[in-house]
């Protein structure tokens, strides 16, 4: 049976000025594991607002033009 994917490095709070770009990143125990970024119950999809990058075990979420409602 395969071992579950775990976080090697957890998300940390990021502060960014309004209009700036926030970058959230984490590290997983398995490379290229599927990752789903969420805000509450909403699954975030790549768009002009959100960019998702994954390379091996490193996963990043970029939030462009950050606003108070992105908290």
The domains located in the chain, with CATH, are 7-70 (2.60.40.10)
Cα distances (Å, whole numbers) of residue 62 to 1, 8, 28, 71:
34, 20, 18, 13
Beta pairing partners, 43: 38
- Of 7-11, 19-23, 38-42, 57-61, the range with the lowest mean pLDDT is 7-11
- Under a CB-based contact definition with an 8 Å cutoff, are residues 22 and 16 in contact? yes
For residue 63, the tally of other CB atoms under 10 A from its CB is 20
Is residue 40 predicted with pLDDT exceeding 80?
yes
pTM: 0.85
| Rg, the chain, Cα only | 13
pLDDT of residue 1: 67
């Amino acid at each position: 049976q395969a071992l579950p994917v775990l976080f090697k490095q957890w998300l940390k709070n990021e502060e960014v000025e309004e209009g700036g770009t926030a970058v959230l990143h984490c590290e997983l125990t398995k490379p290229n594991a599927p990752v789903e970024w969420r805000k509450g119950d909403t699954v975030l999809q790549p768009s002009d607002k959100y960019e998702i990058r994954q390379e091996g075990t490193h996963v990043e979420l970029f939030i462009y033009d950050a606003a108070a409602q992105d908290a």
